[in-house]
Amino acid sequence: MRLVLTNLTIKDVKPHLRELVDQLFKKVPAGVGSTGFVKLSKDGFRKVVEDGAEWCVDNGYGWKEDLEVTELNGRADWVDSSKVSSKAIERGYNQIGTLGSGNHYLEIQHVKAENIHDHALAKKWGIFPDQIVIMFHCGSRGFGHQIATDHLQVFLNVMERKYGIKILDRELACAPFNSPEGQDYFKAMAGGVNMSFANRQVILHRIREVFSSIFKQDAEKLGMKMVFDVAHNRASLEKHKVDGQTKEVIVHRKGATGSYQAGRPEIPQKYRNDGSPVIIGGSMETGSYLLVGGPKAEETFCSTAHGSGRTMSRTKAKQLWKGEQLQKDMEKKGILVKSVSYPGLAEEAGGAYKDIDDVIEATHQAGISKKVTKLLPIANVKG
């Protein structure tokens, strides 16, 4: 997830909204099998896998300050690309700067005054009433999936024979963390994290290009600074209290995202006294949220929901909605949406997801992550 500011208001953007959506759809390829404009050799891609968003900034696809507000400074430094298979490299080397499919999206959002919950923190972080911001959600594409598939197979081959581990479901395949197989996966996974940082960094570069072109101003003058970038669906080595003692543990966040209370070392220096920014996607019809790590985050190992969550399968959603009609209905509500696939659009209908306000209220009341502002969609690009 990545959230980007602008100094534009709804009044500034409304006349250009359709052009923005069309250009973003053109500049940020979406859908299954889409390929990016960054042309790399397979060896060159391994350099990206090692360096993450740092590679992008060094090669002109971003600003140095972007790294300062990216989790891990944009690079999981325990990576070892030699642990990544040639098949994974083959799947990923031409996908940098692409959105992908499923629930991945690029959204232009509006900050209404009445939706700002923490005025002091919002102002400190650069959020103001009537502002336009951009949020997008995507990961390491087929590259990360292949890494997981490769190592899952390795685990299946060794876990019972070598480590005496029995499981009920092959998807739970595993190996001890400090085993050769466990360490190989951990180092390869970092490559997937780095690819995802690089992917989002290049997408941000393209977004800045589009806004700059349409508004005839440099991205700097348009105030297009990042709020935060966070990777989810990964494992992290962190220190937490367990039975009253501080221990180093592996926190697996799948369907979850980091939500660190103030003072935690994982938080970039800019936000360390506040708590980590937390970006939660809702649906393309109902809105999303910017939160901050709450005072009770340690009770959930500094984790919170990473989205509103589905209420039904994708198959069921396609039975209930038709993408073409949904697109028209959303436009009547003031939300422009462009997608590579009408069935894919139907899968992501707002009604297929839980009420984002209810989900956020639960985490807020629990003190895990606290509300800063709600963000309402006005335009969306879908895979």
Q: If DSSP codes are grouped into helix, strand and coil, which group holds residue 303?
A: strand
Per residue in 237-271, pLDDT tens? Answer: 999 999 999 999 999 998 899 999 999 999 999 99
Tell me what the mean pLDDT of segment 315-337 comes to. 95
Pairing of strands 105-110, 132-137: antiparallel
Model confidence at 103, pLDDT cuts 50, 70, 90, reads confident
DSSP letter string over 125-138?
A: TT--TTBEEEEEE-
Per residue in 39-71, pLDDT tens? Answer: 999 999 999 999 999 999 999 999 999 999 999
Report d(CA 23, CA 211) in Å as an integer.
9
* pLDDT at 235 > cutoff 90: yes
Residue 316 lies in a domain: no
pLDDT value, residue 369: 98
Residue 326 lies in a domain: no
Q: What is the DSSP letter of 307?
A: B
Q: Provide, rounded to the nearest whole percent, the portion of the chain with pLDDT above 70.
A: 100
Q: Give just the sign of the alpha carbon dihedral 102, 230, 207, 116.
A: positive
Residue 231 lies in a domain: yes
Which residues are known to be catalytic? 306
Strand-pairing partners, residue 238, are 249
* pLDDT at 29 > cutoff 90: no
Residue 9 lies in a domain: yes
Alpha helices in the chain (DSSP H): 10-13, 17-27, 42-51, 53-58, 64-68, 86-92, 119-124, 141-163, 180-215, 314-320, 323-332, 342-347, 356-366
Q: Name the residue range of residue 87's domain.
A: 2-57+76-91+107-309+353-382
Residue 305 lies in a domain: yes
Residue 334 lies in a domain: no
Based on the structure, what is the number of domains in the chain? Answer: 1
pLDDT value, residue 304: 96
Residue 259 lies in a domain: yes
Report d(CA 3, CA 290) in Å as an integer.
9
Per residue in 112-167, pLDDT tens? Answer: 999 999 999 999 999 999 999 999 999 999 999 999 999 999 999 999 999 999 99
* pLDDT at 299 > cutoff 80: yes
Q: Which two tokens stand for residue 259?
A: 């939500």
Residue 318 lies in a domain: no
Report d(CA 262, CA 255) in Å as an integer.
23
Report d(CA 220, CA 201) in Å as an integer.
16
* pLDDT at 92 > cutoff 80: yes
CATH number at 20 reads 3.90.1860.10
Tell me what the mean pLDDT of segment 281-288 comes to. 92
Q: Are 274 and 253 in contact (CB under 8 A)?
A: no
